[in-house]
Amino acid sequence: MDISGAYDSILYDIAGGFSLLVLLLAGIVCIVWDIFENDEPVLPFVAAMACVVGIVWEVRNLDAGSSTVFYDSIRAYGLASYINITILLSALATVILSVPYLKRIKHGYGEVYALIVFATAGAVMMGTANSLVTVFVGLETMSISLYILAGLVRRDEGGIESALKYFLLGAFSTGFFLYGIALLYGATGTMYLPEMASGFIERGELTLLFWAGIALFFVGFLFKVSAVPFHMWTPDVYQGAPTPLTGYMSTASKAAAFAALVLVLYYGLAPMPVAAWQTALAVVALVTMVLGNLLALVQNNAKRMLAYSSIAHAGYVLVALTAGTSQGYAGAVYYLLIYSLMNIGAFGVMALLEWDDKEGRLQTIDSLAGIGFRKPLLGVAMGVFMFSLIGFPPFGGFFGKVAVFAPAIEAGYTWLAIAGVLASALSGYYYLRVLYVFWMRTEEQADPAVRARAFPVSFSSAAVVVTCALVLLVIGFIPYVRDLTQIYFDASVFATMP
Amino acid sequence: MLAESLFILLGTVSVVAALGMLIARNPVTSALWLILTLFCVAGLYLTLSAEFIAVVQVLVYAGAIMVLFLFVIMLLNLGALPQLEKMDWKKALGFVLCVIVLSQLVFIVATSLQLMPATATVAEDAGAATTIAKTLFTRHMLDFEMIGVLLLVATVGALMLAKRKFA
């Protein structure tokens, strides 16, 4: 093997993976800076700037044709840019929301921002991966950062529970994932997704080894996106972790995992007979939607409720993946962007309305009675997020749900789409209950501790929450975003589709 | 065939050592059994002409990780472990028989379903350090760099969780 020309295309590679490299650089800057100036207040700014630079770079490349860089390790431009924007927006919002929150709970360590940035780098790598090795390395970088961040508040047993459960179950599911990758490699002889597809077209047969690999691989993925029956960890982990970081887990990490799943399904597995895993995904999507929504109904704690709601939303995305058409994948990535915006906003509001000094894991929704009148900005923003999460027109969530359910109907999964719509109707109860408590109860019904508390809202946090709400109000009326997601997926790769 | 007999020898020893690790009463004995297993696996890598992996196996597992294990075991209070009952040899014999029958069944099912992997031919220098380095620093350079970040994250995170004072 001659390697004299190995780095000839390095400039092109750097341009393609620019946002990833900027994140890595910013993370290392944060850590080194923190060595010399402990908990330097500029560090969150460095982290946020890295996200902003990444977003600006990726926005410029949204329309560019998709290609691969770093020896086909990751994808760049086009779809990859879109996914990176989704992840980076969640990361940016998380960094900004974390600063006042962590200062309040006295955990504003410099390392936290470095870890958020590294987790984002892992998410970006995973969400744009073109080979199974890259998926795995990105997944691990993201997960290990998140295990640490979940256990940030070490004095609280809820934080410890959260971190330990996340770590143990995450490591366990990683085992499944890795076995799946190993078997897939054994069956196909390649780690690269497009080669997997072309190899199948050449050979035209799938061994039992391949099916075992796919099954294990999907189990690993479904764990990461917290689909039923692999959802058990989600409520406990979300409840005990610091609230803005919970928002990060439910948006950036989920978006990255789903994006990687879409890439695997679209680039790697599309020409294969998809019916087998379509049925499996349909069943998982159904139970995820139903169980997620039913369990969310009975929660008294806002973070736990949002955790079950995020399980339900994973089910909605799985409906789009079940369809297995280019429309379905386009709908899924479109939904991921909208879902990220509304969830990061909802967790942001809950972070600002936290009063129990236990990362919000003990306070009930009812304790915040009438808070909308005291904090109208947060109350109205929460209204937008809740209506959007239900999927109520004209908010973004409605357009997102149309984008995920319509392809399922076209692909013949009408029953699944109907189940999804019914489940969304059910979700109205628990989302609207938050608004009922916020706006239709009087302040006198609130917990005395809530009445005594001022809930200061810094300008930066308010800006993030309001921006998320405004974007959700208008995003459905910007056809550009929806059209963009559709041109990324080419229907012609589905050779065996009827 | 030298390679085949070596494989059978190393394989048997490693399986026996793994069993020894499982049934050893004393944790230190158990750890030493594990070292034997790891050495045998390293030997298996050598028979596949994967010298680099063999060396890494010895260095990382038999060296670093085992030293860590032994340190942790030494820090534990071994006297506090519950006293186990005497082993029931009939049950042990039954277990061994079950394992033999099960492995035969699995072998038969696997061969009849043609699940057994075909013997792959390994290139002569596939496991040499040069070959691995060439792929690692070209094809997988991004993965390689990212694993560096992963290790940094783990180190920083462990230090942060352990060293920061309880607020």
Residue B9 lies in a domain: yes
CA atoms within 13 A on the CB side of A319: 37
Q: CB–CB of A74/A80 below 8 Å?
A: yes
Angle between helix A79-104 and A110-127 (nearest 10)? 160
- Rg of chain A's alpha carbons, rounded to an integer? 22
Q: Are B74 and B94 contained in the same domain?
A: no
Residue B112 lies in a domain: yes
Contact B150 A141 (CB under 8 A): yes
Q: Are B74 and B9 contained in the same domain?
A: yes
Scored b (16 or more CB within 10 A) or e, A205-218 reads eebebbebbbbbbb
For tokens 């360590």, the residue is A109
Distance separating the N- and C-terminal Cα atoms of chain B: 66
Chain B contact set for A141 (CB, 8 A):
146, 149-150, 153
The pLDDT assigned to A454 comes to: 85
Contact B115 A71 (CB under 8 A): no
Give strand pairing partners of A192. A131
Give strand pairing partners of A76. A67
Which residue of A lies nearest to B152 if distances are taken between CA atoms? A28
CATH of the domain at B68: 1.20.120.1200
ipTM for the predicted complex: 0.91
B153 to chain A, closest Cα gap in Å: 6
Any A CB within 8 A of B150 CB: yes
Q: Are B75 and B46 contained in the same domain?
A: yes
DSSP-assigned letter for residue A69: E
Collapsing DSSP states into helix, strand and coil, what is residue B21?
A: helix
The CA-atom distances, in angstroms, between A167 and each of A28, A113, A145, A163, A352 are 24, 20, 10, 6, 27
Which residue of A lies nearest to B141 if distances are taken between CA atoms? A70
Beta strands in A11-130 (DSSP E): 67-69, 74-76
Q: Are B103 and B159 contained in the same domain?
A: no
Q: Are B6 and B74 contained in the same domain?
A: yes
Residue B123 lies in a domain: no
Q: Are B24 and B66 contained in the same domain?
A: yes
A71, A135, A358: best mutation site toward chain B, by most B Cβ within 10 Å? A71
Angle between helix A18-36 and A110-127 (nearest 10)? 160
Residue B24 lies in a domain: yes
Q: Are B132 and B109 contained in the same domain?
A: no
CA atoms within 13 A on the CB side of A129: 31
CA angle A84/A90/A95 to nearest 5° reads 120
Q: Are B75 and B92 contained in the same domain?
A: no
Q: CB–CB of A408/A320 below 8 Å?
A: yes
A15 to chain B, closest Cα gap in Å: 14
Q: CB–CB of A360/A346 below 8 Å?
A: no
User: What is the Cα–Cα distance from A416 to A319, expressed in whole angstroms?
Assistant: 7
The pLDDT assigned to A498 comes to: 35
Residue B122 lies in a domain: no
Q: Are B2 and B73 contained in the same domain?
A: yes
User: What is the Cα–Cα distance from B149 to B106, expressed in whole angstroms?
Assistant: 42
Residue B33 lies in a domain: yes
Q: Which residues of chain B have pLDDT under 70?
A: 78-84, 115-126, 165-167
Residues counted in chain A: 498
The pLDDT assigned to A207 comes to: 84
User: What is the Cα–Cα distance from A115 to A148, expressed in whole angstroms?
Assistant: 8
Q: What is the pTM of this model?
A: 0.89
Q: Are B2 and B57 contained in the same domain?
A: yes
Averages of pLDDT over each 10 residues, chain A, 498 residues: 79 92 95 90 94 95 89 92 96 95 89 95 95 95 95 89 94 94 92 91 84 93 92 94 95 95 91 84 95 94 94 95 91 95 95 88 90 92 95 92 94 93 94 93 86 89 95 91 88 56
User: What is the Cα–Cα distance from A130 to A128, expressed in whole angstroms?
Assistant: 7
Q: CB–CB of A99/B141 below 8 Å?
A: no
Q: Are B37 and B72 contained in the same domain?
A: yes
CA angle A427/A429/A433 to nearest 5° reads 125
Contact B140 A73 (CB under 8 A): yes
The pLDDT assigned to A319 comes to: 95
Residues 160-219 of A with CB under 8 A from B: 186, 208-209
A7, A19, A23, A145: best mutation site toward chain B, by most B Cβ within 10 Å? A145
Q: Which helix (H) or strand (E) holds A405?
A: helix A396-410
**Close Cβ partners of B58 (under 8 Å, ≥ 6 residues apart):** B38, B39, B42
> Structural domain tally of chain B?
3
Q: Which of B22, B51, B79 is the last residue of a domain?
A: B79
Give strand pairing partners of A131. A192
Chain B contact set for A144 (CB, 8 A):
150, 153-154, 157
Q: List the domain range (segments joined by +) for residue B152.
A: 128-167
Q: Are B10 and B68 contained in the same domain?
A: yes
For tokens 């038969």, the residue is B108
The pLDDT assigned to B156 comes to: 93
A14, A24, A137: best mutation site toward chain B, by most B Cβ within 10 Å? A137
Q: Please count the other Cβ atoms lying within 10 Å of the Cβ belonging to residue A334.
A: 26
Contact A27 B149 (CB under 8 A): yes
The pLDDT assigned to A264 comes to: 93
Any A CB within 8 A of B123 CB: no
